[in-house]
């Protein structure tokens, strides 16, 4: 039951603003993470802007510029009008709320995910209980892949509606991502899949809880999904199946403008060097070389992958070779070969890149305007991989982003938790570097600075709220420490939920 927020209108009569129920304390409403101070709308000569709001916050942290203590954020119809330490006179008559004990940040970006696995309650084990439990012992990618495929086969064998199962998993994943302040997800999709699922997922975000607060902050979808259609050609039949499905989706979806949750043009995702041939990658490049085109590929992900594509040996040999035909075997490429192919793309994401060598990183320096690496810290830990080359990538100024991968290898889809994990594993790079890896850098890479991942005048106000608790935060350095200690991040518009 919402509480009415009363203020004086231009003619002196009461004007109502409705906010979700909170308890009353000394002339203010207090929620679990914010306080709304009772305020007055002062007379003004011109009409009040539609869906406008001033948010006063203990901290505003744009990431690309220093934090603002006791700052003001002015939004109107889902766009940032102004932010700074002083409130200009022209905004002082606008409706105002004050948020305490927290910080406003840009919306978060998940640059690699598989939403279709979002119905998995806990990660599939990559080690057996009898294996060495030491954190330095490697886990088996082949064993994990076998469990993923066995799970898929079990669902098919039950005779259940696979499309419905995947739809429900995708809906759950989109909602989970948004609830932890993710505003853009690059999602690998496989058949069956529908863009309508994405729109349905977001349609219920604000059901029965619309308010002037939400209307001012969010105009349009609160989360965007950039689908990349997965391509596999281990044999001729599978190659035709995935390629034709990708073409079908692209012809159906790419003609329309990106007005909803589903972002166009669709990207393509040749799966990995052991399942996607050089021939397939070349075909994908032809379809995505235009401005806005995007390729995503798992590359240099595991020692088993490298051992097989380079020497045709190791645990992957017995697992993959029964599936592949002669033509595919002749077109298997090394990491070096695939990197050269991907350099011809408009934009390419290297998913994981856990085992990129020094010479490969050196080579990537020449293509850092179009190629980026997506590090998935908790999935990396799940497989007990060797230390990620994040420091070398950062030193070479190669774009490095953060992703969650899927719930098949991760306990949840929180990019905020990925950020905290990356800060713990690579403290020398600093929290600002890693926050930019899931906000500003991918936003600029994808050309979406005005839509997600930034806190700038003119950009959409789909932002993040991190509750910090009542402890006093004095300096910018201690602010980052407080954020690292925070338990969660939520969409700014849901502070009052």
User: What are the DSSP calls for 367-418, one per residue?
Assistant: GTTTEEEEE-HHHHHHTTPSPPTHHHHHHTT--EEE--B-TTSSS---HHHH
This prediction has a pTM of 0.89
pLDDT of residue 44: 37
241/187 same-domain check: yes
Residue 138 lies in a domain: yes
Would you state the pLDDT for residue 23? 28
Angstrom distance (rounded) from CA 267 to CA 494? 31
Residues 195, 258 within the same domain: yes
- Dihedral through CA 430, CA 433, CA 436, CA 438, nearest 10? -70
Other C-beta atoms lying within 10 Å of the C-beta of residue 11 = 7
pLDDT, residue 163, reads 95
Do 112 and 95 lie in a common domain?
A: no
Q: What number of other Cβ atoms are within 10 A of residue 210's Cβ?
A: 12
Distance CA 115, CA 418 (A): 16
User: In 3D, which of 10, 64, 70 has the Cα closest to residue 40?
Assistant: 10
Task: Evaluate whether residue 452 is within a structural domain.
Answer: no
CATH number at residue 9: 2.30.40
pLDDT tens string 350-398: 999 999 999 999 999 999 999 999 999 999 999 999 999 999 999 999 9
Is 180 within the bounds of a domain? yes
Considering the domain architecture, whether residues 67 and 142 belong to the same structural domain is answered as no
Q: Beta strand pairing status for 463-467 and 490-491?
A: antiparallel
Q: Is the same domain home to 209 and 333?
A: yes
The total number of residues shown for the chain amounts to 497
Rounded-to-integer distance, Cα 330 and Cα 379, Å: 31
**Angstrom distance (rounded) from CA 213 to CA 493:** 7
Structural contact between residues 400 and 390, judged by C-beta atoms closer than 8 angstroms:
yes
- The per-residue pLDDT for 47 is 45
Question: Using CA atoms, how far apart are residues 355 and 141, in angstroms rounded to an integer?
Answer: 14
Q: What is the extent of the structural domain holding 181?
A: 108-445
Residue 199 tokens read as 């729109």
CATH code for position 341: 3.20.20.140
Spatial CA neighbour of 363 closest among 388, 395, 398, 387: 398
316 and 237 within one domain: yes
Same domain, 300 and 339: yes
Whether residue 390 is contained in a domain is answered as yes
Q: Same domain, yes or no, for 8 and 122?
A: no
179-to-23, 82, 109, 135, 201 alpha-carbon distances in Å = 23, 25, 13, 31, 12
Q: Examine residue 481 and state whether it is found in any structural domain, yes or no.
A: yes
CA distance 431 to 108: 14
Low-confidence ranges of the chain (pLDDT < 50): 1-49, 129-136
- Residue 356's nearest CA partner among 319, 385, 313, 330 is 385
Q: How far is CA 428 from CA 51, 96, 390, 425, 432, in A?
A: 43, 39, 11, 9, 11
271 and 419 part of one domain: yes
What pLDDT was estimated at residue 368? 96
- Residue 453 within any structural domain of the chain: no
**Are residue 188 and residue 213 in the same domain, yes or no?**
yes
Domain count, the chain: 2
**Same domain flag for 70 and 120:** no
* Triad 452, 75, 491: Cα angle to 5°: 50
Q: Do the domain assignments include residue 454? A: no
What gap in Å lies between CA 434 and CA 438, rounded to an integer?
A: 7
One domain for residues 265 and 383 = yes
Residue 430: the pLDDT is: 96
pLDDT of amino acid 20: 33
Is 458 within the bounds of a domain? no
Q: Give the pLDDT confidence score for residue 32 in this predicted structure.
A: 36
């Amino acid at each position: 039951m919402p509480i009415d927020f009363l203020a004086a209108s231009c003619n002196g009569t009461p004007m109502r603003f409705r906010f979700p129920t909170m308890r009353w304390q000394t002339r203010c409403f207090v929620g679990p993470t914010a306080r709304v101070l009772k305020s007055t709308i002062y007379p003004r000569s011109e009409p009040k802007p539609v869906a406008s709001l001033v948010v006063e916050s203990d901290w505003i942290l744009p990431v690309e510029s220093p934090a603002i203590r006791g700052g003001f954020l002015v939004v109107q119809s889902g766009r940032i009008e102004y932010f700074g330490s002083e409130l200009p006179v022209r905004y002082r008559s606008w409706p105002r709320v004050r948020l305490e004990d927290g910080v406003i940040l840009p919306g978060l970006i998940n640059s690699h995910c598989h939403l279709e696995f979002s119905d998995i309650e806990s990660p599939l084990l990559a080690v057996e209980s009898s294996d060495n439990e030491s954190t330095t012992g490697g886990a088996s990618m082949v064993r994990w892949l076998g469990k993923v495929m066995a799970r898929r086969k079990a669902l098919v064998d039950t005779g259940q509606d696979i499309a419905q199962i995947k739809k429900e998993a995708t809906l759950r994943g989109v909602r989970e991502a948004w609830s932890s302040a993710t505003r853009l997800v690059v999602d690998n999709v496989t058949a069956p899949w529908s863009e309508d699922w994405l729109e349905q997922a977001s349609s219920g975000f604000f059901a029965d809880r619309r308010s002037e607060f939400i209307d001012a902050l969010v105009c349009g979808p609160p989360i965007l999904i950039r689908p990349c259609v997965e391509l596999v050609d281990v044999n001729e039949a599978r190659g035709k199946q995935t390629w034709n499905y990708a073409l079908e989706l692209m012809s159906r979806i790419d003609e329309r403008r990106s007005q909803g949750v589903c972002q166009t043009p669709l990207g393509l995702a040749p799966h990995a060097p052991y399942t996607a041939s050089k021939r397939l990658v070349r075909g994908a490049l032809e379809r995505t070389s235009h401005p806005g085109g995007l390729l995503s590929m798992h590359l240099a992900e595991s020692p088993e992958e490298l051992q097989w594509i380079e020497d045709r040996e190791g645990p992957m040999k017995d697992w993959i070779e029964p599936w592949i035909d002669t033509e595919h075997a002749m077109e298997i490429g090394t990491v070096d070969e695939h990197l050269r192919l991907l350099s011809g793309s408009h934009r390419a994401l290297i998913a994981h890149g856990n085992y990129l060598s020094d010479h490969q990183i050196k080579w990537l320096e020449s293509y850092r305007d179009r190629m980026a690496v997506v590090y998935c810290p908790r999935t990396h830990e799940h497989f007990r991989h060797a230390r990620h080359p994040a420091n070398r990538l950062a030193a070479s100024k190669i774009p490095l982003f953060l992703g969650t991968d899927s719930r098949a290898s991760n306990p949840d889809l929180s990019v905020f938790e990925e950020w905290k994990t990356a800060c713990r594993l690579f403290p020398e790079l600093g929290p600002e570097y890693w926050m930019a890896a899931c906000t500003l850098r991918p936003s600029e890479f994808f050309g979406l600075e005005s839509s997600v991942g930034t806190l700038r005048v003119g950009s959409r106000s789909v932002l993040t709220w991190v509750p910090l608790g009542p402890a006093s935060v004095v300096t910018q350095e201690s602010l980052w420490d407080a954020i690292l200690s925070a338990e969660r991040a939520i969409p700014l518009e849901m502070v009052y939920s």
